Amino acid sequence: MKSSIASRFQARLDERRAQSLYRQRPLALSAQQPIMQINGFPTINFCSNDYLGLASEPRIKAAVCADVTAGWGAGAAHLVTGHHLHHHLLEDELADWLGVERCLLFSTGYMANLAVQQTLMQKGDLILADKLNHASLIDGALASGADFKRYPHLDYTALARRLQASEQTTLVVSDSVFSMDGDLADINQLSGLANQHQAWLFIDDAHSLGVLGEQGRGSFSHFNQKIEVDHILVGTFGKAFGTSGAFVAGSNVLIESLIQFARPYIYTTASSPLNALATREALKWVKQADHLRQQLFANIRFFRHEAALLGLELLNSASPIQPILLGDAVKAIHWSEVLKQKGFWVAPIRYPTVPKQQARLRVTLSAAHNQTQIESLLSVLADLQKADRENG
């Protein structure tokens, strides 16, 4: 018997509501910055990945507004007429910055992660992935046709055993900074194991670029590692760069293979040329942003120190992503709602984004936050913690 959309999904939607797992989109009414209008209310935003505060940088906006060479829309795919000079120059400038042969732009990090694994891997190959990799990395692996196995989070002994046992062409896949826990993969370990076992290494550096390493070059620079010939790096612009889109970095053969064979690249309209120009301007800022990175890490240290004094359960993160583990989804929603009422936007993260009974508040910090704003957030968190203890 054929079913309707409602008959297939309404019960699932109702169940998600009943389990406090239903998600809704907040409506931003102002530019991305620490103090925003969200859902019609003024709030201090602790949910943004705008780590260096560049998303509303007026000089980037001015450079875009002054350009007369490109419209907002690309009008076609890169392989038709959509590949503008700003795209081309951005790819070259990124490659020079990272010390790789080539870079290739994508409209989103999700598309880039799909494209790399779909294109490079095939039936009979093996993908070994960290258990807590981003959903886009998981989906890319599943779509590749390769065998897909996951090793326990950051367990390089387990990864080594699986590499030792494999005779297949193998791709090791990992985030650098993990988006829900905020912890950091060991690039030295991953690179060493990949080289030892003649595997390829694929790193999603979305939350590292602009934040870690010399000139913000990301996790490889942070660990004093070179991006080698069988290494693939994906970076995104929607975090520290404050714009949007993504890129793949690596060898000339890698990039040409993606141009020729990657369906998510070939069959889609190119991203905005003006966004490419904005990202070129943002790259100039990222290179020179040591003062912003210093401020960001000062904010991280201050938050972690004060949160620990309150007895909040933090995860092992030295990144701008600072999860407060609460466990229960209902509790996470309650804390988030109280924070909103007090003027702070901190999202509750629940299953299926994180495992069951690991619901959390995901605080993200920016160089644009000042200490007073962080202290005010901590004051409300202290009240919530006290109320929980008194009621518990």
User: Catalytic residue positions?
Assistant: 179, 207, 239
Instruction: Round to whole Å and give the CA distance between 145 and 72.
Output: 36
Q: Is 184 in contact with 177 (CB distance < 8 Å)?
A: yes
Residue 119 structure tokens: 């294109």
Q: Is the dihedral of CA 235, 236, 240, 242 positive or negative?
A: positive
5/9 Cα distance (integer angstroms): 6
Separation between Cα atoms, residue 260 and residue 81, nearest integer Å: 16
Paired tokens of 85: 């000079």
Question: Tokens at residue 170, please?
Answer: 């193998």
Instruction: Report the alpha-carbon distance of residue 296 to residue 166 in Å, rounded.
Output: 42
Q: For 42, what's the count of Cα atoms within 13 Å in the CB-facing half-sphere?
A: 1
Residues 289 and 216: their CA atoms lie apart, in Å, by: 8
Whole-number Å distance between alpha carbons of 101 and 250: 6
Q: Is 327 left (phi over 0), alpha (psi -120 to 50) or beta?
A: left
First to last CA, the chain: 50
Q: Nearest 5°: CA angle at 221, between 216 and 225?
A: 165
| H or E stretch at 16 | helix 5-18
Q: Name which of 146, 150, 144, 136 is nearest 107 in CA terms.
A: 136
In SS3 terms, 220-258 reads as: HHHCCCCCCCCEEEEEECCCCCCCCCEEEEECHHHHHHH
